[in-house]
């Protein structure tokens, strides 16, 4: 069985404007075809986990209760479309807190791998930012970049960069979660 860990904002749903936060379900907007991608992956027998930084909690902008309501609605919508999310991990800490769970540190991904007995060699992490790619590399799982959310900026950063970030290149790059899901299904099913 293959395993997928997904970032949330910019991969499943639209990033809020101006690097803001989704604070209410009414502000959550699925990216085109992301629901279908998750249901296709579920149907193809992939385990799907979400790992997301949610610094709005540490900044006092959103509460954990608000986040749980958003996630409950997201999971319900996905389930109604045939998609199953096994678990959601989130880092609630302020970026300056120095925690081990905030991406690009690998703590959140390592916890997901440990909790679900995933084999890192059969796990991909799909994200839209440099911190997502670094977290995957730091957790020894295959990083996949999608060009939605901050993905295009991340891609341009890689393309113009000639320094340290070159060691954190993604294994694959896709236009969106749907195209990544179709490749994963074709490759591993």
Exactly one of 7, 40, 128, 132 is catalytic; name it: 7
DSSP state string for the chain = --EEEE-SBTTTBPPPGGG----SGGG--BPTTHHHHHHHHHHTT-EEEEEEE-HHHHTTSS-HHHHHHHHHHHHHHHHHTT----EEEEE-S-TTS--SSSTTSSHHHHHHHHHTT--GGGEEEEESSHHHHHHHHHTTSEEEEESTTTHHHHHHHHHH--SGGGGG--SEEESSHHHHHHHHHHHH-
Active site annotation includes 40 = no
Exactly one of 9, 40, 128, 132 is catalytic; name it: 9
Active site annotation includes 9 = yes
- Residues belonging to the active site: 7, 9
């Amino acid at each position: 069985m293959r395993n997928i860990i997904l970032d949330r904002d910019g991969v499943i749903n639209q990033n809020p404007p101006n690097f803001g936060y989704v604070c209410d379900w009414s502000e959550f907007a699925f990216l085109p075809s992301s629901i279908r991608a998750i249901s296709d992956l579920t149907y193809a027998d992939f385990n799907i986990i979400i790992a997301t930084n949610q610094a709005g909690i540490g900044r006092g902008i959103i509460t954990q209760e608000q986040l749980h309501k958003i996630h409950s609605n997201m999971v319900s919508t996905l389930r109604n479309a045939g998609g199953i999310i096994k678990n959601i991990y989130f880092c609630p800490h302020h970026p300056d807190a120095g925690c081990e769970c905030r991406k690009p540190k690998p703590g959140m991904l390592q916890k997901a791998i440990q909790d679900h007995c995933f084999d890192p060699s059969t796990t991909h992490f799909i994200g839209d930012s440099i911190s997502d790619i670094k977290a995957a590399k730091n957790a020894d799982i295959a990083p996949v970049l999608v060009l939605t959310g901050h993905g295009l900026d991340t891609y341009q950063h890689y393309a113009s960069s000639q320094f340290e970030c070159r060691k954190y290149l993604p294994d694959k790059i896709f236009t969106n979660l749907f195209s990544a899901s179709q490749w994963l299904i074709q490759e591993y099913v």
